[in-house]
Amino acid sequence: MANEWSPTQARRGTAKHPRKDDKVFTYGTAGFRARADTLDPVLYRSGLVAVLRSMSKKAAVGVMITASHNPECDNGVKLIDPMGEMLQVSWEKYVSDIVNVRDDEISDALQKIIDEEKIDTSQAAYIITGRDTRPSSCSLSQSLIDGVVAMGAEYKDYGLLTTPQLHYMVRCHNTGGRYGEPLEEGYYKKLSKAFLQLRQKVTPEFQIPIGEGGYKNEIFLDGANGVGALKVQQLLKHLDDALKITVCNDGSQGKLNENCGADYVKLHQGAPKGLIPEAGAKCISFDGDADRILYFYKDGNGKFQLLDGDKIATLIASFIKELVSEVGLSLNLGVVQTAYANGSSTRYLEDEMKVPVACVPTGVKHLHRKAEEFDVGIYFEANGHGTVLFSQDAEEKIRAASKDGSLSSEKRLAAESLSSLIDLTNQTVGDALADMLLVETILFARHWDVSDWNSAYTDLPNRQLKVKVKDRTIIHTTDAERRTTSPAGLQDAIDELVKKYTKARSFVRPSGTEDIVRVYAEADTQENTDMLAYEVSLKVFQLAQGIGDPPQPPAGK
């Protein structure tokens, strides 16, 4: 039984973890992110709130220390709810409040949450924590634990983990092991077992037309110099040599995310430092905490080809759709995207595949919630973050069909495949390792090389830029971030610019993880896209008080 929380103890802890200035922290797209040297009090206080959340849910909650795709000098923290999902949005305000009050206001601020949420503080609390490989993560982890201990709660520190591994642990803890063993080995065992079973069931002789290219099990991984590079080596030990992975950017030399990693590859639309692909070689890139994955390769003309989250979503959706129809189940399957989804992917899903598509604001928390509305919800951000969610009803129907002796052997095999596929997906959050295993299984089943996969549809040329402004919070958006409502005149200016180009689309939004405004553009040619992105960036700079040098036109313009 944990001790009841003590306001005095929580307040006393601030002496060791004082707020140093008046910097205001906002719980953004994926928790707090900032320069690591400003975060000590934020971690301590996140520990305090995590305990209240755990008491209020009467379950273990998770706290992950990472800034994922951000540079190595940054760090961050996010809370994970009992089923492994992101913290309920209504609690984000509580964490922000606690993080931003003065040291001497801490006890009252905590009491306010306890009163508002009617929390029984005699309830035992349990916190599960993990961290990425950033040099600052160890000491920040201690700051967090100090907060947890000050509240009289118990904790388990898993040390180095990928973010999705920690989400998995939280769910395992709260489901009495039904989701899996709450151990790192348990995670590898669950995924590898499902992968090997599914692979056996979908050998190319069974179902689905065989493509021209031929599947290859060789992969070159850009590990972003992060935790994913370490963990993939552990996973490989369980895969019976089914995959051959050469790990580049494994952290033995370069800095985390510096000129490498999924965010770099997506933004630069080119190979990362440290991985020069041979033509046709299958390459993948993880981000700093391995919750995103992208595929890429160099084609026969030496052109870089990216298979991003949109391509992964369409691949997975088509595979699951085929299996569901083979079993003969009536399940409502949909894909969730954000404004960053390439227009070609949305058209392909809706027009060719006849799959409903929903668009929500950036951030896994939004995609996850929307995906839960489907029987089978496939969500992916273009940046490579995504997974598949099966409703309880869908899962029960699939499991039952896999054991239904009255079904034909083909139908039962398809149901068994879906059943293994459920076990292969990390249903708590996007997971680079689990997604890689699923994509590899589908490519294997179809006997596809990356170029076969890539030929499904052609992406519209696209460009993302960043603009630094005095205060990015003056930019407000609506319509799933596809339009701005302030500053005045910005949306009209974007509309006018977009009209100049064919098949064009552009939007801007404040980042929730970096102190910048993001600009997205797509159009018929790369030249037009780059020009549109530049022109929109300039408008943002002019109308939203840009700082530093104004955006420069694309080279040669």
Q: Does 508 bind ligand G16 (CB under 6 A)?
A: no
Residue 76 Cβ vs ligand G16, minimum distance, rounded to whole Å: 8
Please select the residue that binds ligand G16; options are 14, 46, 68, 420, rule is CB under 6 A.
68
CA distance 337 to 380: 6
Residue 10 Cβ vs ligand G16, minimum distance, rounded to whole Å: 29
Residue 452 Cβ vs ligand G16, minimum distance, rounded to whole Å: 28
Closer of 152 and 377 to ligand G16 (Cβ): 377
CA distance 515 to 410: 53
Q: Are 34 and 42 in contact (CB under 8 A)?
A: yes
Closer of 199 and 370 to ligand G16 (Cβ): 370
Closer of 507 and 534 to ligand G16 (Cβ): 507
Q: Active-site residue 345, yes or no?
A: no
Residue 484 Cβ vs ligand G16, minimum distance, rounded to whole Å: 15
Closer of 125 and 336 to ligand G16 (Cβ): 336
In single-letter form, the type of residue at position 548 comes to G
> Which 22-51 positions form the footprint of ligand G16 (CB under 6 A)?
29-30
Residue 226 Cβ vs ligand G16, minimum distance, rounded to whole Å: 11
Non-local CB neighbours of 268 within 8 Å, separated by 6+ positions = none
CA distance 39 to 33: 8
CA distance 304 to 272: 11
> Which 85-114 positions form the footprint of ligand G16 (CB under 6 A)?
none
Q: Which helix (H) or strand (E) holds 157?
A: strand 154-160
Bridge partners, residue 306, by sequence: 296
Closer of 68 and 425 to ligand G16 (Cβ): 68
Closer of 449 and 481 to ligand G16 (Cβ): 481
CA distance 466 to 534: 10
Q: Does 69 bind ligand G16 (CB under 6 A)?
A: yes
Q: 36 — phi, psi (to 5°)?
A: -55, -35
Please select the residue that binds ligand G16; options are 107, 165, 225, 383, rule is CB under 6 A.
383
Please select the residue that binds ligand G16; options are 184, 291, 431, 530, rule is CB under 6 A.
291
Closer of 213 and 384 to ligand G16 (Cβ): 384
Q: Does 518 bind ligand G16 (CB under 6 A)?
A: yes
Set 56, 68, 107, 417: catalytic member: 68
Select from 194-202, 286-294, 329-337, 350-358 the region that touches ligand G16 (CB under 6 A).
286-294
In single-letter form, the type of residue at position 250 comes to D
Q: Does 546 bind ligand G16 (CB under 6 A)?
A: no
DSSP string, 56-118: HHTS-EEEEE--TTS-TTEEEEEEE-TTSPBPPHHHHHHHHHHHHS-GGGHHHHHHHHHHHHT
In single-letter form, the type of residue at position 301 comes to N
Site string for ligand G16, 323-362 (x = CB under 6 A): ---------------------------------------x
Select from 126-134, 316-324, 512-520, 546-554 the region that touches ligand G16 (CB under 6 A).
512-520
Q: Does 381 bind ligand G16 (CB under 6 A)?
A: yes
Residue 309 Cβ vs ligand G16, minimum distance, rounded to whole Å: 9
Q: Does 309 bind ligand G16 (CB under 6 A)?
A: no
DSSP class of residue 4?
P
Residue 287 Cβ vs ligand G16, minimum distance, rounded to whole Å: 5
Give the count of residues interacting with ligand G16 (CB under 6 A).
18
Q: Where are the beta strands (DSSP E) in 283-339?
A: 283-286, 293-298, 304-307, 333-337
Q: Are 469 and 487 in contact (CB under 8 A)?
A: no
- CA nearest 442: which of 209, 165, 265, 285? 209
Residue identified by tokens 């070609």 is 344
Q: Does 364 bind ligand G16 (CB under 6 A)?
A: yes
Residue 518 Cβ vs ligand G16, minimum distance, rounded to whole Å: 5
Phi/psi class of residue 261: alpha, beta or left (left: φ > 0; alpha: ψ in -120 to 50)?
A: left
> Which 466-485 positions form the footprint of ligand G16 (CB under 6 A)?
none
Residue 235 Cβ vs ligand G16, minimum distance, rounded to whole Å: 19
Residue identified by tokens 């299958």 is 282
Please select the residue that binds ligand G16; options are 19, 171, 385, 505, rule is CB under 6 A.
385
Q: What does the H/E/C string look like for 496-554?
A: HHHHCCCCCEEEEEECCCCCCEEEEEECCCHHHHHHHHHHHHHHHHHHCCECCCCCCCC
Please select the residue that binds ligand G16; options are 7, 71, 487, 512, rule is CB under 6 A.
512
CA distance 191 to 396: 20
Q: Does 292 bind ligand G16 (CB under 6 A)?
A: yes
Q: 252 — phi, psi (to 5°)?
A: -75, -20
Q: Does 511 bind ligand G16 (CB under 6 A)?
A: yes
Closer of 7 and 512 to ligand G16 (Cβ): 512
CA distance 539 to 346: 27
Closer of 106 and 256 to ligand G16 (Cβ): 256
> Which residue ranges make up the site for ligand G16 (CB under 6 A)?
29-30, 68-69, 287, 291-292, 362-364, 381, 383, 385, 511-514, 518
- Catalytic residue numbers, as ranges: 68
